[in-house]
Amino acid sequence: MTEYIVKESNLTEFFQAVSQNRTLLSPVGQGEKCRLEPTTPDKIKLDFANTHLSPKASFFPQTERLLAFHKDKSLPNSNVYQDLGDKAQDCVLFGLRPCDAKGLTVANKVFQNDRFVDPYWKGKYEKALKIGLACLKPSPQCFCAAVGGSPFGEQGLDVLAYVKEGGLGLKTLTEAGEALIKSTKAESASLSNEIQKLEQEAYGLQKAEKDSYKVITERDLMEVYNDPHWPFTAENCLNCGVCTFFCPTCHCFDIQDEQSEKGGVRMRNWDTCMSSLFTLHASGHNPRPTKVERVRQRFMHKLKYIPIKQDGVFGCTGCGRCVVMCPVNIDIRDVAAKMCRPTQTAKV
């Protein structure tokens, strides 16, 4: 839509303006402590790589209480679950990396699918204005280009910001984003040439080639599924599920009830397809009994199933968290490369 600049000296004022009547969330802390948290306009960081945990935690917390009931027979509705509702408040997120913003859109299509709308997700997702921060210096593990993303990607964002000489450059992407920036003292400017130039530079700094995994979406599903490399790809795996906990698009959860003598609560907790319990039937039958099926499930889901359901968009956004976090170095880039071509022989 339109482009603006904010001078370095006006940054605090700018963040004050965008967070008027809203909570401001932005990455705080260093290294593994870097996370998306409520913060104040004067503490905004521009020099982080990315948050340790993905921002999905702000929309889909590790534990979320959905319903509750009481057991007091003297009151109405005893033993009947009541909606705890979604307590989302208007907020503005500053500093989402484009890969993570795209990840949220992938999860959003699952939480608001063709038949059902998850009210807990929807409330939080739609009450958040999202200002992205483009990546000028991708980390060594980044590969957004390979999965159809860009260091200046715009999906899922209301405004895309980038650090430029003497301040911030802004590009508004939605009506809401435009209205938000208009309400500040940001000065309009023409930045498209600069953005294009910087985007190309940032692409160049990534090791990944553009769209190099696209061929996976074109291959036959069962052929990819039956490739002989899977047992060897999975051999290292500890089934710890760290990859799924850190993934910006992994959205699987478990629903659990807990109760005391006074009442109870139904909540959902992050779950992981790496756990054998995830698919275990009460009868004892398990459709994915060993780690080979479970590891395959994760990669197939990211790179084959989600593209089928979401018009070719990968369920992996190239943020590289799983690459770094995996204790046994199962690198999704290597696996994706294997999934790109038929493998005749199984190799390590």
Partner 1 sequence: MNNPYLPYPVRIAEITVNDDERNLRTFKFEFLNPGDEEKFSYLPGQFAELSVPGQGEIPIGIASSPTEKGYLLFTVNRTGHVSTFLHYMKPGDVMGIRGPLGHPYPFEKLKGKNLVIIAGGFAVTTLRAAGVWLLDPANRANYGKISFIYGARGPSLLLFLDDFKAWEKRDDIDVFLCSYKEAKGWDGLVGFLPEVVKKVCPPADNAAVFLCGAPVVIKFTQTVLLEAGFKNEDIFLSLENRMKCGLGICGRCNVGPEYVCKDGPVFSVAELSGLPREY
Partner 2 sequence: MTDFEPKVVAFFCNWCTYGAADLAGVSRLDYPPNFRVVRLPCTGRLNPKFILEAFKRGADGVWVSGCHPGDCHYIAGNYHARRKFVLLHQLLESVGVDPNRLRFSWISSAEANKFQAMAKEVIEGVKACGPNLTFRKDELKLGLSEVA
Partner 3 sequence: MAAFEEITKKIRQSAKTLLESGRVQTVIGFRTASTPLNAAPVFIRSAEDCDKLIWNSFCRLNLANYLPGREGKVALVTKGCDARSAVGQVSENQFLRENLYLIGVPCSGMVDNQKIEAKEPRPIVEVEESDGVITLKGQDFSTSVKIEEVLRRNCLTCSNRTPKLADELAGPETSSPAADDYSDLKALLSKPLEERMAYFKELIKDCLRCYACRNACPLCYCPVCFVDETLPQWLGKSDDPTDTFIFHLLRGFHCAGRCTACGACETACPVNIKVREFNRLMELSVETNWNYSAGLSWEQKPPLTVFQVDDNADFIK
Q: Which residues bind partner 2 (CB under 8 A)?
A: 65, 68-70, 72, 75, 77, 82, 84, 258-260, 262-265
Identify the bridge partners of residue 259 per DSSP, sorted by sequence position. Answer: 264
What b/e readout covers 134-171, taking b as 16+ CB neighbours within 10 angstroms?
Answer: bbeebbebbbbbbbbbbbbbbbbbbbbbbbbeebbbbb
Classify residue 194 as exposed, middle or buried by CB count within 10 Å of its CB (0-12, 13-18, 19+).
Answer: middle
Is residue 269 part of the contact set for partner 3 (CB under 8 A)?
Answer: yes
Considering only residues 213-232, where is the footprint of partner 1 by CB under 8 A? 221-222, 225
The residue range among 73-81, 90-98, 160-168, 329-337 that interacts with partner 1, by the rule CB under 8 A, is: 73-81
- Binding-site partner at residue 246 among partner 2, partner 3, partner 1, none, CB < 5 to 8 Å by type: partner 3
Nearer to partner 1, 31 or 287 (CB): 287
DSSP E strands, the chain: 3-7, 23-28, 35-38, 63-70, 82-83, 91-96, 128-133, 159-164, 167-172, 187-189, 253-259, 263-270
- The residues in 178-207 that bind partner 1, with binding defined as CB under 8 A, are none
Provide φ and ψ at 304, rounded to 5°: -125, -50
Asked whether position 290 contacts partner 3 by CB under 8 A, the answer is no
CA distance 99 to 66: 29
CB 346 → partner 1: shortest distance, Å?
18
**Strands across the sheet containing 159-164:** 35-38, 23-28, 91-96, 128-133, 159-164, 167-172, 3-7, 187-189
Q: Which of 51-59, 78-86, 167-175, 201-209 is the region at the interface with partner 1 (rule: CB under 8 A)?
A: 78-86
Q: Rounded to the nearest whole angstrom, what is the least distance from the CB of residue 201 to partner 3 in the complex?
A: 13
Token pair listed for 297: 């499930």
Minimum CB distance to partner 1, residue 7 (Å) = 42
Shortest distance in whole angstroms from residue 330 CB to partner 3: 8
In angstroms, the CA 51 to CA 34 distance is 5
| Token pair recorded at residue 104 | 């949220």
In whole angstroms, how close is the CB of 250 to partner 3 at the nearest point? 12
Beta carbon nearer to partner 3, 17 or 46: 46
Q: Minimum distance from CB of 5 to partner 1 (Å)?
A: 40
DSSP string, 281-311: -TTS--SS-SHHHHHHHHHHIIIIIHHHHTT
Q: Which residues of the chain form contacts with partner 1 (CB under 8 A)?
A: 66-67, 69, 77-83, 110-111, 113-120, 122, 221-222, 225, 251-259, 263-264, 266, 268, 271, 273, 278-283, 287-288, 293, 297, 300-301, 304-306, 308-309
Q: Which residues of the chain form contacts with partner 3 (CB under 8 A)?
A: 30-32, 49, 52, 62-63, 137, 139-141, 205, 232, 235-236, 238-242, 245-246, 254, 256, 258, 267, 269-272, 275-277, 323-325, 327-329, 331, 333-334, 348
